[in-house]
Amino acid sequence: MKKWLNLLIAALLIASFVFTFGVVNSMVSLKYETNSPEECISTVTGANLCKAIEFNKTAAQVSFFIALVALIYRIYFVREKEAD
């Protein structure tokens, strides 16, 4: 079980970094693909960049929080099997 928990924690931490990169990427797109900073719709793709930023922020926070909870669970509740 400890192996799968470690894998889950690593995957969630990687996901939080990917979502953080998505925030930065969307903010750069917001700067260069809109006519003014108040606009949210990209002139290149037509995507709503403000919604993309909010989604990526929320997903990064949630995945980091779940990874933190899983790490605490692993530390305090998953014990090493004791040798006889």
pLDDT tens readout for residues 3-41: 899 999 999 999 999 999 999 999 999 999 998 878 999
Q: Could you give the angle at which helices 49-77 and 2-32 cross, rounded to 10 degrees? A: 160
φ/ψ (deg, to 5) at 2? -65, -35
Q: How far is CA 50 from the centre of its chain?
A: 16
Token pair listed for 45 = 């793709």
**Number of Cβ within a 10 Å radius of residue 47:** 14
- pTM above threshold 0.75: yes
**Number of Cβ within a 10 Å radius of residue 58:** 12
